[in-house]
């Protein structure tokens, strides 16, 4: 048995010996990471450099893409090193640093998707009052809250987890996970549990309630409105709904992987499901919004044609 004063590193046991295939995996993951970086940076630059896109919806998209860069960078470089390494260990402090970035990514993403649903609600249900309700100051405040609150919440969570006495250092994941570390704790974890309950009550419940409320109102307007209103709602809400569902499924895969015994599932499939929200979402969103948003699509076409 070990305690927190003796744990200086954690061992990640979900990795397996792939032999020479590890170089193939390394190449594929590197290509995926570079594609994610290029796609998100490209759209951030497109939005920032074109004044016609300096609208609330595109500012929220810019925040969404920036968060995906943050989450990807908090995971992929570490993952690439571990693929080529024979010793899958991570230091105590680096492990918690990775937890901070990955959990911040999850929470900021959830907040981003929530304020985007609120933005679509105002645009569709109150089109004539939209500019007075969604002012520049309000957009800046919403984006600031989207980042500040999750960072604060995750910092509090890590504070309690890092102070716990640990009875082991084995994590059955390919990255550091707070729930896995909490299971290693052999000290009183009531403070951490209370923090988790408060988080679920005030974060998850509020977010889910707001998203359901906004889409209920949007559907109500669509059914009672004109054909033009329905077309506008479909064109602007489809990318957001697709992104929201994709992210929710990814988080659900990770939740099942963490909370239930998955020993009967092949190891490769378990790893893929646990990484879905970290790999597919940052690539899915730029492609989705780049293809679906007509302004972004036309600007991308103009940029490519001018370069050619």
Q: Where are the beta strands (DSSP E) in 7-122?
A: 9-12, 89-91
- Per the structure, the count of domains in the chain is 1
Residue 304 has pLDDT above 70, yes or no: no
Q: What is the pTM of this model?
A: 0.88
Average pLDDT over residues 90-108: 92
Q: 64-93, pLDDT tens digit by residue? A: 999 999 999 999 999 999 988 888 889 988
Q: pLDDT band for position 3 (50/70/90)?
A: very low
Q: 127-136, pLDDT tens digit by residue? A: 888 889 899 9
In a domain, 89, yes or no: yes
Tokens 């020993």: give the residue: 263
Q: pLDDT band for position 307 (50/70/90)?
A: low
CATH code (residue 50): 1.20.1070.10
In a domain, 252, yes or no: yes
The closest of 157, 133, 175, 181 to 277, measured between CA atoms, is 175
Residue 187 has pLDDT above 50, yes or no: yes
In a domain, 4, yes or no: no
Alpha-carbon Rg for the chain, nearest whole angstrom, is 21
Q: 11-58, pLDDT tens digit by residue? A: 888 887 777 788 888 999 999 999 999 999 988 988 888 888 888 988
- β-pair type (170-171, 89-91): unpaired
Containing structural domain, residue 255? 9-307
Q: Characterize 35-69 residue by residue with b for buried, 16 or more Cβ atoms within 10 angstroms of its Cβ, and e for exposed.
A: ebbebbeebbebbeeeeebebbbbbbbbbbbbbbb
Q: How many angstroms separate the CA atoms of 243 and 290, rounded?
A: 13
In a domain, 24, yes or no: yes
């Amino acid at each position: 048995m070990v305690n927190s004063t003796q744990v200086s590193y954690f061992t990640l046991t979900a990795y397996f010996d792939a032999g020479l295939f590890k170089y193939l995996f390394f190449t594929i993951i590197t290509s995926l990471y570079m594609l994610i970086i290029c796609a998100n940076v490209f759209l951030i630059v497109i939005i920032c450099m074109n004044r016609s896109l300096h609208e609330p919806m595109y500012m929220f998209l810019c925040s969404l893409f920036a968060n995906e860069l943050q989450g990807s960078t908090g995971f992929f470089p570490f993952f690439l090193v571990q693929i080529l390494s024979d010793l899958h260990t991570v230091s105590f402090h680096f492990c918690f640093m990775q937890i901070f970035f990955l959990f911040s990514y999850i929470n900021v993403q959830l907040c981003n998707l929530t304020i985007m649903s609120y933005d679509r609600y105002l645009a569709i249900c109150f089109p004539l009052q939209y500019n007075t309700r969604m002012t520049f100051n309000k957009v800046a405040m919403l984006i600031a809250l989207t980042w500040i609150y999750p960072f604060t919440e995750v910092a509090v969570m890590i504070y309690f987890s890092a102070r716990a006495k640990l009875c082991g250092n084995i994590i059955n994941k390919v990255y550091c996970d707070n729930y896995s570390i909490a299971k290693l704790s052999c000290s009183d974890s009531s403070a951490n549990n209370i923090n988790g309950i408060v988080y679920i009550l005030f974060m998850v419940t509020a977010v889910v309630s707001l998203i359901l409320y906004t889409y209920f109102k949007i559907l109500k307007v669509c059914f009672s409105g004109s054909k033009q209103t329905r077309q506008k709602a479909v064109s602007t809400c489809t990318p957001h709904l697709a992104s929201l569902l994709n992210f929710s499924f990814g988080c659900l895969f990770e939740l099942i992987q963490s909370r239930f015994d998955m020993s009967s599932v092949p190891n490769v499939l378990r790893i893929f499901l646990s990484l879905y929200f970290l790999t597919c979402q940052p690539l899915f969103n730029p492609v989705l919004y780049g293809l679906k948003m007509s302004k972004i699509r036309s600007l991308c076409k103009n940029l490519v044609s001018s370069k050619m």
